[in-house]
Amino acid sequence: MATIEIVKRAATRPTWAEVSLNNFRYNFGVVQRHVGVDVTICAVVKADAYGHGAVECARALEEEGAQWLGVTSLDEAIPLRDAGIQARILLMTGFWRGEEEEIVRLGLTPTVWEPGQVERLQEAALRLGQRHSVHLKVDTGMGRLGVAPEDLPQVSRALKQSSHLVLEGLSTHLASSEVLDAPSVEEQLKGFDAARRMLRNEGLEPLLLHTANTSAVISRRESWKSMVRPGAALYGYYLPFERAGREVSGSKLRLGVKPVLTWKTRILSLRDVRANQALSYGGIYVTKAPARIAVLPVGYADGLNRALSSRGRVIVREHYAPIVGRISMDLTLVDVTGLPGVEVGDEVILLGSLDGLSVDAREHAALANTVLYEILCGISKRVPRKYSS
């Protein structure tokens, strides 16, 4: 027969994320020192700053002197302008038809790659009586967005004919910058340089040239150009580096950035269960001996990846505790058998570190067979963010 303790707490559900803006500012400084003062940083705050909170992170960046912010689209830029953010904002995936005037009014910098985009922006800028800057994206091998090299003359002609547009930047996206010996990266950089020469021959000379994401910032100095677009590094992470399919490491492949987000919850209930007890949905985990099981008020609706079921771990009272059974929508079970003094209400670290113990987004990603970006972006809106400076 199970014995049960249930915590009596306020209505607020005790699952939250702590965001250290001090670490965030520190990471921005690390990246800036790494690339030097002659390279402009476009700090990527798309996807609500990878789940950290775009407005709060953008404010911290402005305080540190950041000149540029990168977002996905207009709907991510509007809250930043509404919050009083004055930095330049790059719309990295372009815009939808009908958004042109709002982009010009808000002083946003759209990425373009088609003549139609250029023409619509020109019309909007002309109506509003403003000259407006754009960045041109060239597809050098990623195969997503960007003008193909054979179509570049057509786009460049549209830009030259646009009296109210200024080609300020030229960009591309590297597909495999974390693979140190990937020949595609060199080919992409050559394609980018060829596109720049083609534009120069047409009388267009963009000042801001950018190809590098976080991995390229760390590993490929030749990709820095005059602007870089770090994302993960600002939040304390980067992808593992590979060579011929094998992970490699080394001091030159580390920036010394600090994770910004710590995800916590509290023990909701403690249960003493017998041996051979099946736990949670489907009974995929069965106790081998009598066990003490902690119930946590967090689940996949909060962003705790279901693939961590019976695989992941948490930190409880300076010890690791394994996740047991299947993670459900709102609840997760962990085995705290033998851990000293565990009580209902104890703080539990889902992502973070304590006294030499650490569970980070890379660990979650490896167990879930995904990337750390998905882990961070997946922490849902119902997990409140608490900010510290």
Return the active site residues.
Answer: 46, 281
Q: How far is CA 184 from the centre of its chain?
A: 24
Please report, as a single letter, which amino acid is at residue 78.
I
Measured CA to CA in angstroms, residue 201 lies from 114, 152, 194, 196, 204 at distances of 19, 12, 11, 9, 7
Distance, CA of 177 to CA of 175 (rounded, Å): 6
Distance, CA of 239 to CA of 230 (rounded, Å): 12
Q: Which are the contacts of 224, defined by CB distance < 8 A and separation ≥ 6? A: 35, 39, 212, 216, 217
Length of the chain counted residue by residue:
389
Burial 352-367 (b: 16+ CB within 10 A, else e): beeeeeebbbbbbbeb
Q: Are the beta carbons of 174 and 188 closer than 8 angstroms? A: yes
Q: What are phi and psi of 157, to 5 degrees?
A: -65, -40
3-state helix vs strand vs coil in the chain, percent to 5: 35, 25, 40
- Cα dihedral 27, 33, 39, 42, rounded to 10, equals 10
Distance, CA of 310 to CA of 42 (rounded, Å): 40
Nearest to 31 by CA among 236, 176, 177: 236
Q: Which two tokens stand for residue 296?
A: 């946590």
Q: Are the beta carbons of 69 and 46 closer than 8 angstroms? A: no
Distance, CA of 65 to CA of 84 (rounded, Å): 15
